[in-house]
Structure 1
């Protein structure tokens, strides 16, 4: 009994590495403020996922199932937040000038995953699809938390750095607005996909 580490690691890497609200926010932040100034935000995004892994591992989904009205309220609050985030991304403009306004920090990053339906869906899928029945909750949660932390430490900076490099090419050009609106659309699409795939339980 335990966690299928190798299989879950492949699943986690595919989920963490693909477009979603967190990666779009990281890419946009890197594009606007540069890779180095975005690093505190990256750290917050990485650790923010731990804020939901552990409660899920110790039964929050069962508690939410007992109070469906609370679950529904949280779900739609998350959707509203992600839509707001997408709007912010769409209207963000890249800059190769690394001064100016303050970059979002560690605390701002912490909020991304707890309000991200894709993150909830990914973690729930990890517990339901890769953990053997009867596995000690602490062991299962520790394994899932460690694998996701490793994937995020590797992949989230890549998205942030990509934003930084893209800004060097398209900032101030006609392609900039198209790119930012595309990132915003991908953010919304990833949330809708997570909600629909989970039957509304993401």
Structure 2
């Protein structure tokens, strides 16, 4: 189980569309404005995991042409997001919306978030610690996952809110942009590696 918890932590702290959007809301509108979005992400993530656990995701992804289209679209989206972050110039590389994204947007993002499928599949198929009681194992994985997931997303929201309140130099803003873009490219590589 320790390996599962370590994997959850490292998979969740890697920036993906969910945490970057969360940080963007924090940067643009403050901490409180992002809480509804986080609740939507959490429910969407739970539904996403149920799709993975039930095998529905495996059925859909078993169709080679559909799998290829979904993989290419997801990877292109992540690369595009990394490019937008790295090329943001003097602005911090979060992409805030014109109005705060709320619960509904957080919920819907999890269905198109390729990282959510990679993380869910990796965690629920790669770490078996109760082979004689798979139902209890799934429940424990869901509980422990969310006990780590929620603080990680709250930290990203707080990070975005803090960044939004600072007056950083152009060089520091650019360094943050490049570091976040690099993290997204790592997510792309993980997605590609796990899909092969």
Q: What range describes the TM-score normalised by the shorter chain of this pair?
A: 0.7 to 0.9
* Shift, 1:36, TM fit: 0.7
Which residue of 157, 161, 166 maps to 1:160?
Answer: 157
CA-to-partner distance for each residue in 1:102-149, whole Å, 9 max, x for gaps? 211111112333323322222212122212585555434323222221
Aligned counterparts of 1:175 and 1:28: Cα–Cα separation in 2: 19
Any conservation in 2 of the 1:54–1:141 contact (CA below 8 Å)? no
Equivalent position of 1:39 in the other structure: 35
Which residue of 100, 124, 127 maps to 2:124?
Answer: 127
* Shift, 1:187, TM fit: 5.5
**RMSD over aligned Cα atoms:** 3.0
Equivalent position of 1:104 in the other structure: 101
Gap change, CA 1:18 and 1:80, over 3 Å in 2: closer
Extract unaligned runs of 5+ from structure 1: 95-99
Which residue of 40, 47, 52 maps to 1:51?
Answer: 47
Aligned counterparts of 2:189 and 2:62: Cα–Cα separation in 1: 25
* Shift, 1:87, TM fit: 6.1
Equivalent position of 2:17 in the other structure: 21
Q: TM-score, normalised by structure 1?
A: 0.76
Gap change, CA 1:91 and 1:45, over 3 Å in 2: farther
Count of residue correspondences: 190
Equivalent position of 2:142 in the other structure: 145
